[in-house]
Amino acid sequence: MGDTGSAGEGRPLWARRIRNERAARGWSQAEAVEALRAHASSELPSSSSLLRNWKRWEAGDAEPDDFYKALIAATFGTVTAAFFPRRGRDDIDKALMAGAGLDTLEIVTRMRASDVSQATLEGLRITADRLCSEYPYANSADLRIEGHAWLRRMTALLDARLTLAQHRELLTLAGTVALLVGCVEYDMGRRTEAEATRKAALQLGEESGDVNVIGWAQEMRAWYALTAGDFRGVVAAAEAGEAAAPHHSVAVQLAAQRAKAWARMGDRRQVELALDVLPRQVGRGCVTTRRR
């Protein structure tokens, strides 16, 4: 179906194509969302959330990520390239910052004031912090889906030209979001997936050299072991994490997990030794509050 809009409309070509294809089929936006869902091979957010996204896509306010681009194309019986031509580096940067909640004026200001890739990384930092802060109260399924979406965006950005420092930071941010996703998956009872995600986060931490990510990956291992009744496994994971990140806040959580394990094994002396280090641990963290 051809594009019936004009270039002066102010909306991107892909936004007009989505609207025209939907209109050609006589679908309402809600019906288009259900058609989109029918073509998905994995779970999607609620219909109300998808409908809000669809409206933003048609208005050109937000560009779909690669996952939704493929779904939109399949919904209309075509391929991704027919709707969305390959984007340049600047377009990727803008999409990432827009997804982080930055308004147009702030995006333009940041682009003029600094290197675009640095502004993009700042947007990713904001997003990673926001996702972690939402962990104690957000809906698990929605948080998992959003975390996966941001990991896909980070993976796409790795294909761009980055300095070594930027590449390392991107790996660190991906590791942080992977840690969050692993926690959420464990909460949802997806134990096998949670462990795979935890191992991926640990590898990202090792590749980037970020001891904080490594420490939290070990803390998650200790948490998993504690809930499974593997108390020796808790101690081993806690000791590995404390060795990796002795001066970060994760060491507090690791010591607490170790103390719990020793308590359940009935070793009071080891409990006291574990708790003795708690006041001395300082630093930054990520997912520090477990859901009750």
Does residue 176 belong to any structural domain of this protein? yes
pLDDT of residue 202: 92
pLDDT digit string (tens) for the chain, length 292 residues: 434 343 435 788 888 889 988 988 889 999 999 999 888 877 888 888 889 889 989 998 888 888 888 889 888 887 777 677 665 555 555 555 555 555 555 555 444 443 335 777 888 888 888 888 888 888 899 899 989 888 888 887 776 667 778 888 888 999 999 999 999 999 999 999 999 999 999 999 999 999 999 999 999 999 999 998 999 998 898 889 888 888 888 888 888 888 888 888 887 777 777 677 654 444 334 554 454 3
Same domain, 77 and 24: yes
| Residue 200 shares a structural domain with residue 228 | no
Do 110 and 186 sit in the same domain of this protein? Answer: yes
Are 179 and 113 in the same domain?
A: yes
Sequence letter at residue 213: V
Is the domain of 92 the same as that of 161?
A: yes
Distance CA 136, CA 235 (A): 25
CATH number at residue 46: 1.10.260
Query: Considering 183, 209, 235, which residue would you say is the last residue of a domain?
Result: 209
Q: Does any domain span residue 20?
A: yes
Q: Any idea which residue has 């982080």 for tokens?
A: 100
Q: Is residue 3 included in any domain, yes or no?
A: no
Do the beta carbons of residue 285 and residue 215 sit within 8 Å?
Answer: no
In a domain, 270, yes or no: yes
Of 209, 231, 249, the residue at which a domain comes to its end is 209
Rounded CA-CA distance 47/67 in Å is 17
Question: Which burial class, exposed, middle or buried, applies to 269 when counting CB atoms under 10 A from its CB (0-12, 13-18, 19+)?
Answer: exposed
- Give the angle subtended at the CA of 202 by the CAs of 285 and 292, to the nearest 5°: 50
Residues 94 and 204 occupy one common structural domain: yes
Same domain, 143 and 178: yes
How far apart are the C-alpha atoms of 287 and 254, rounded to whole Å?
12
Please check whether residues 272 and 291 belong to one and the same domain: yes
The reply to whether 4 falls in a domain is no
Is residue 163 situated within a structural domain?
yes
| Helix spans in 135-276 (H) | 140-157, 164-187, 191-208, 211-228, 231-244, 250-264, 268-276
Do residues 191 and 269 both lie within one domain?
no
Quote the CA–CA distance of 14 and 285 in Å, as a whole number: 40
Is-contact 248 212, C-beta < 8 A?
yes
Asked if residue 203 and residue 229 are part of one domain, the reply reads no
pLDDT at 253: 84
Shortest CA distance to 188 belongs to which of 128, 142, 122, 229? 142
Residue 151 sits in the same domain as residue 239: no
Distance CA 131, CA 213 (A): 15
- pLDDT score recorded for residue 277: 62
Burial of 162 (0-12, 13-18, 19+ CB in 10 A): middle
- DSSP codes, 54-85: HHHHHHTSS---HHHHHHHHHHTTS-HHHH-P
Identify the domain containing residue 281 by its residue range. 210-292
3-state helix, strand, coil in the chain (%, to 5): 70, 0, 30
Residue 1, domain member (yes or no): no
The number of folded domains in the chain is 3
Q: From the centroid of its chain, how far is CA 106?
A: 22
Residues 82 and 98 in one domain: no
29 part of a folded domain: yes
pLDDT at 6: 39
Instruction: Indicate the residue among 50, 66, 86 that finishes a domain.
Output: 86
Spatial contact of 140 and 166, defined as CB atoms under 8 Å apart: no
The pLDDT, as a whole number, for residue 112 is 43
